Chains A and B, each alone.
Chain A
Amino acid sequence: MSRPQHVLGTSAFAVLVFVISLVLFHWPFLADDGHWTPPQLYLTMFAAWALVILLVFLFSWFLPPASADEDDEPDSG
């Protein structure tokens, strides 16, 4: 197994991405929302969304084929 696959195609990475998305998608509430203007909110949320999609793409890219893990529990999720 190559090193990126060892890191990116694992359930640990999936959990990490979930936590990142959880934080990013709640960021307007975690930060002081009194200073957020609609354009700032819009840009922040879409940038965060794009980042999460990129991370999910990396995760999916390094996943093994479906037939590879029938002898074991799934590596993710």
Chain B
Amino acid sequence: MFESLTVITVFCVYMGMIFALAVWAERRQAAGKSVVNNPLIYALSLSVYCTTWTYYGSVGYAANSGLLFLTIYLGPTMVVMFWWGLLRKLVRIKTTHHITSIADFIGARYEKSVPLAALATVIALVGTMPYIALQLKAVLITFDMITQDTGVASAFIGSHVGPIVLVLMVVFTIIFGVRRLDPTERHEGIVMAVAAEGLVKLVLFMAAGIFVVYVLYDGFGDIFSRYSALSENLPGLSMRSRTTNFLTWTSYLVLSASAVMFLPRQFHIAVVENQNEDHIKKAMWLFPLYMFLINLFVYPIALAGLLDGLPLASADTYVLQLPLKSGHHLLTLLVFLGGFSAATSMVLITSMTMATMISNHLLLPLVDWIPALGFIERHLLKSRWLAVTCFILMGYWFERLVGGEVMLVNIGIISFAAVLQFAPAIVGGIFWRQANSRGAMLGLSAGFLVWAYTMLVPALVTGGWFSPNLLNHGPLGVDFLRPERLFGVRGMDSVSHSVFWSLLANVVAYILGSLTRRPDQQAQRDAESFVHALTDEGMLSRGGRHEAYISLPEKRRRIEVLLLRYFEPAGAAAITEKCLRETQLEDRERISITELADLYNEVEKNLAGVVGTAGAHRALMSAGVFTPRESQELSEVYGEILAGLRARPEDLKRRINYLQERQQLTNQHAEELEEKVVELQNQIIRRKMAEQQVRESEERYRTAIEYSNDGVVLIKDNLLWYVNRKFAEMFGYNSRREIVGRALDTIVHPEDRERVVTISALRRQGRPVPSRYDFKGLKKDGSSLFIAVSATIVSYKGRTVNLVYLRDVTERRRHEDEIRQLSRRLIQGAEDERKRLSADLHDEFGQSLTALHLGVRSLESSLPTDLILQQARCEQLISLIEDLAENVRKISSDLRPDMLDHLGLIPTLEWYAEELRQRAPGLEVEFKAVGFKRRLDPKVEIVLYRIMQEALNNVVKHAGAGKVSIRLTYSHPTAIMVISDDGRGIDLTSDDPARELSSGIGLISMRERVASVGGTIDIRSEPGKGTSIRVALPDQPPPDAETLIEANA
């Protein structure tokens, strides 16, 4: 059980979702992308036929009367095959005559009779009121069943559920269907909402059915077998009196077959909201299928309720009671929501339709009749809101009146019998041309009165409004007039009795009334347009005056006489011929009034080009082209057209002006289009010429590629798509066919395969990759070759491919390797020579100088003190020897500092930095070394030393720097040295020979030295932004150190 507040909240949330769906559908419609304009939605929206009567009442009826409930759905199934003729005709008439409701239809068919439309509205109003009562009753009963209030708010809601539901229904109806005036009376949003609710109620009812049949019982067989075993002891499911049942059965079939089309809501959905006649075709079987599915579980649920011992009196709510009793509360709430959904969609559509009918056919005629009520016209929308409110309130009142005593189905049948009265007038109206307003008025009135007497009055007696004596003994005790035994007819149930008498009275009065009055010409034309709505005849009769009785030669003569005032005879005849040709009247002898009007307009148009529009008009008026009778007839034709358009003359004039402006704009647009067509033709010619040039260019290009000395390949998706002859030859293939279509890595040596494939893929993705690079290729015979690549992206045959030029550089690479080897040997030899020279200078020359220094010092000390001159000479010699020793030491250090061998790299570099500070006082030198805890390989140390030496020399000589920093870091197994200055920098991309001379040789030397120990060097520099050299060397040079040199500007 739920709190009332919870149930109301869930319902409001659900309706909010449905409203959002409706708004979405309306927005799609406004955007020209209608979602409602499809047969599935149309068929689903027709399911508004299945209301709470189906949802709850069918189970109740099945429990009480067996399969009789099925007639409500079998009747529509029996007539759907005639929808293609009947319903389609109604839709066609609706479209032609802008019909907005069933009352509007009846009024329009019968001489546009206002009283008839008003009578139809009253019948619909009275007839559908019980149906609204049925929905409210179902909602109130089920609401009460699933709620149990404990809180104050819930208790309040629970005690005022009737008014609250009423207010919600009114609010939802106004929000969904009557929030604005729509001249077309078409509401895509509301149709979408109804379709969605149709789906919801189908799914939830079937869910309840599956639960009962397969969860509470073991399937259909189980329910039926249990029922068969206990049927003698169970109430309900009576179907015993054969005669009565047959009549009842047939009456219900007739009622439902009529109701599915003539209930106001069904007429609105099926006819007024129809957007495409072809939708009817699918609805013809989809709608019966929907009814089939929703009724599949009705009978089993009824049997299950009886087997479960639920009271027969509450059989209407078995579908809710069964899950509730078994403790499945969520399912109970969902089933209730489905029922609520069924009720709201019905109330919504019916109230909206009824509001339209009440305002158009009751209120507005009343305003015409009583001028003092003219203000209503200015508040039409509000008057519809009021109509909605009153209508739902009346339904509630009826529910209070008789709802407590009558089953849901019985209330619904009252409505069905009421709308049955529309059937003769509508069906006769579209198939019997002699039918007229008198017949319709008499038929509808008679049928309605008999219905009210035989069906409504007994219901009111049940509700306590009249004495039961009226039913038992007739009015004033006249047994002959007993409402359910009229004229003494017995042997019929009350429904069959009412159907019989009301339909009989209706049809007889309709036929007699129609036969006793001959309709005038206008009424005949109206009738024709309805009866022949699906043919051209119907369309023509609506326009009227299509008889070709006017003599064309006579009119032609008059026109020529008129034109002779302004033209030569030949010119006048030519213009007349032209006008006849334009209006397609050349070969005619007689023409209709509308054709004469066309000819008149054409002549006026031609003449206006000469004498102006006003002059042409005056001339034609004076020419007497139209006789007074013809003018009168033409006026009537225009009047009919105007009436058919349902527009005031001012509106029509505005519309014509608008259309004329549109026509001018269209003409202007057409001229612009013509110019564009010419321009396009020129463009096409230019394009063809360009294409020819492109073809020739392509041919030249293809030839150039074919005979190129470089290999050329197009690579698509890592496949060799196209190769030239040179390419095949380069990789040792005999023909191109051998290699085309194979993967790129076929021609790449495994050492470079990953790199090359990656670069190729990245290029296709548009990522930045080097356009030129080398790789090691693989020939067909397995031998390798070195390839220099130049690649780019091109579009070929609409696809993005890599265009790659390849050149065999194996020979060049061999020479480069040799040069590199020689260079390394040269560097190594020079280094060895320096080392030897340094050692010689230090060991031999240095020792000799030391000995000489000692010898001269000894000589000086042995000289007598008076030999001052000799002593002075010895001092000079000693000084010279010391200078010489210092120079030798310096030269030796420059060649190769011995401290590098003795003290190691870091002290040597620190010493060199200090030397530099003294040599270049204006230069700030910063030195820092981190992580050097052990010595590196001597080869590595000397390379680092030489690079620092070369770099710092460059800084002093060329950079003009104010600061230079040297940073050394050792991180096993790599030593990294970074030398940065803030000098003028160099342009590494420049081909300037001066730069090559000044710094290029030094840089080449550095690269070779680094390569000789397997390291890397990265030089970054830009003009004005200094230079940074980063060297990374392994602490132990590999035996066959390869080189990878990068230079980034």
Residues in chain A within 8 A of chain B (CB atoms): 11, 14, 17-18, 21-22, 25-26, 28-29, 33, 37-39, 41-42, 45-46, 49-50, 52-53, 55-57, 59-61, 63, 65-66, 69-77
CB pair B242 A33 closer than 8 Å = yes
Residues in A with CB closer than 8 Å to B277 are 66
The distance in angstroms between the C-alpha atoms of A17 and B80, with both chains bound, is 10
CB pair B83 A50 closer than 8 Å = no
Residue of A nearest to B288 (CB): A53
CB pair A18 B88 closer than 8 Å = no
Residues in A with CB closer than 8 Å to B282 are 60
For residue B85, CB closer than 8 A to chain A, the reply is yes
Given contacts A69-B534, A73-B535, contact A29 B249 (CB under 8 A): yes
Given contacts A38-B227, A77-B85, contact A60 B285 (CB under 8 A): yes
CB pair B292 A74 closer than 8 Å = no
The distance in angstroms between the C-alpha atoms of A71 and B220, with both chains bound, is 52
For residue B762, CB closer than 8 A to chain A, the reply is no
Residues in A with CB closer than 8 Å to B253 are 25
Given contacts A26-B249, A29-B242, A29-B245, contact A56 B77 (CB under 8 A): yes
Given contacts A39-B228, A71-B535, contact A18 B81 (CB under 8 A): yes
Given contacts A18-B78, A76-B82, contact A52 B288 (CB under 8 A): yes
Residues in A with CB closer than 8 Å to B337 are none
Given contacts A49-B77, A74-B85, contact A59 B284 (CB under 8 A): yes
The distance in angstroms between the C-alpha atoms of A55 and B563, with both chains bound, is 66
A15 to chain B minimum Cβ distance, whole angstroms, is 8
Among B77, B231, B242, B303, the one with the most A-chain Cβ atoms within 10 Å of its Cβ is: B77
What 8 pairs between A and B have smallest CB-CB spacing? Answer: A77-B85, A66-B277, A39-B224, A57-B285, A77-B82, A14-B81, A74-B85, A60-B284
Among B228, B237, B289, the one with the most A-chain Cβ atoms within 10 Å of its Cβ is: B289
Question: Per DSSP, are chain B's interface residues mostly helix, strand or loop, or mixed?
Answer: helix
Given contacts A25-B253, A42-B299, contact A53 B89 (CB under 8 A): no
The distance in angstroms between the C-alpha atoms of A10 and B482, with both chains bound, is 47
Residues in A with CB closer than 8 Å to B296 are 46
Residues in A with CB closer than 8 Å to B534 are 69-70, 73-74
Residues in A with CB closer than 8 Å to B82 are 14, 18, 76-77
The distance in angstroms between the C-alpha atoms of A56 and B1041, with both chains bound, is 89
For residue B86, CB closer than 8 A to chain A, the reply is yes
Given contacts A60-B284, A74-B534, A76-B84, contact A45 B77 (CB under 8 A): no
Residue of A nearest to B279 (CB): A66
CB pair A59 B81 closer than 8 Å = yes
A53 to chain B minimum Cβ distance, whole angstroms, is 5
- In addition to A38-B228, A56-B80, A63-B281, 11 A-B residue pairs with Cβ atoms within 8 Å of each other are A21-B78, A29-B249, A39-B228, A46-B292, A57-B285, A60-B282, A60-B285, A65-B278, A66-B277, A74-B534, A77-B83
Which chain B residues numbered 843 to 876 have a C-beta less than 8 Å away from chain A? Answer: none
The distance in angstroms between the C-alpha atoms of A77 and B534, with both chains bound, is 12
| Chain B residues bordering chain A, tally (CB within 8 A) | 46
> Using an 8 Å CB-CB cutoff, how does the interface string of B267-286 with A read, 1 for contact, 0 for none?
00000000011101110110
Residues in A with CB closer than 8 Å to B224 are 38-39, 42
Residues in A with CB closer than 8 Å to B285 are 53, 56-57, 60
CB pair B292 A49 closer than 8 Å = yes
Given contacts A25-B74, A38-B303, contact A71 B84 (CB under 8 A): no
CB pair B84 A60 closer than 8 Å = yes
CB pair A74 B84 closer than 8 Å = yes
Given contacts A22-B78, A38-B237, contact A53 B278 (CB under 8 A): no
Residue of A nearest to B291 (CB): A49
The distance in angstroms between the C-alpha atoms of A50 and B292, with both chains bound, is 8
For residue B1004, CB closer than 8 A to chain A, the reply is no
Residue of B nearest to A72 (CB): B535
Option from B77, B220, B242 in Cβ contact (under 8 Å) with A21:
B77
For residue B15, CB closer than 8 A to chain A, the reply is no
For residue B793, CB closer than 8 A to chain A, the reply is no
For residue B246, CB closer than 8 A to chain A, the reply is yes
For this complex, 24 residue pairs linking A to B, each with C-beta atoms less than 8 Å apart, are: A14-B84, A18-B79, A25-B78, A26-B249, A29-B245, A29-B249, A38-B66, A41-B66, A42-B67, A46-B292, A49-B288, A50-B292, A53-B285, A53-B288, A53-B292, A56-B81, A60-B84, A60-B282, A65-B278, A74-B85, A74-B89, A76-B84, A76-B85, A77-B82
For residue B811, CB closer than 8 A to chain A, the reply is no
Given contacts A14-B81, A56-B81, contact A38 B281 (CB under 8 A): no
For residue B182, CB closer than 8 A to chain A, the reply is no
Residues in B with CB closer than 8 Å to A70 are 534-536
Residue of A nearest to B283 (CB): A60
For residue B239, CB closer than 8 A to chain A, the reply is yes
The distance in angstroms between the C-alpha atoms of A21 and B253, with both chains bound, is 11
CB pair B85 A11 closer than 8 Å = yes
B918 to chain A minimum Cβ distance, whole angstroms, is 105
CB pair A66 B88 closer than 8 Å = yes
Option from A26, A38, A53, A63 in Cβ contact (under 8 Å) with B84:
A63
CB pair B84 A45 closer than 8 Å = no
CB pair A53 B289 closer than 8 Å = yes
The distance in angstroms between the C-alpha atoms of A72 and B220, with both chains bound, is 50
Residues in B with CB closer than 8 Å to A75 are 84-85
For residue B977, CB closer than 8 A to chain A, the reply is no
Residue of A nearest to B239 (CB): A33
The distance in angstroms between the C-alpha atoms of A66 and B282, with both chains bound, is 12
CB pair B242 A45 closer than 8 Å = no
For residue B70, CB closer than 8 A to chain A, the reply is yes
Residues in A with CB closer than 8 Å to B220 are 39
A10 to chain B minimum Cβ distance, whole angstroms, is 11
Residue of B nearest to A54 (CB): B285
Which chain B residues numbered 220 to 267 have a C-beta less than 8 Å away from chain A? Answer: 220, 224, 227-228, 231, 237, 239, 242, 245-246, 249-250, 253
Residues in B with CB closer than 8 Å to A60 are 84, 281-282, 284-285
Residues in B with CB closer than 8 Å to A57 are 284-285
The distance in angstroms between the C-alpha atoms of A71 and B534, with both chains bound, is 8
A51 to chain B minimum Cβ distance, whole angstroms, is 11
Residue of B nearest to A39 (CB): B224
CB pair B77 A74 closer than 8 Å = no
A34 to chain B minimum Cβ distance, whole angstroms, is 9
Residues in A with CB closer than 8 Å to B292 are 46, 49-50, 53
Residue of B nearest to A65 (CB): B278
Residues in B with CB closer than 8 Å to A53 are 77, 285, 288-289, 292
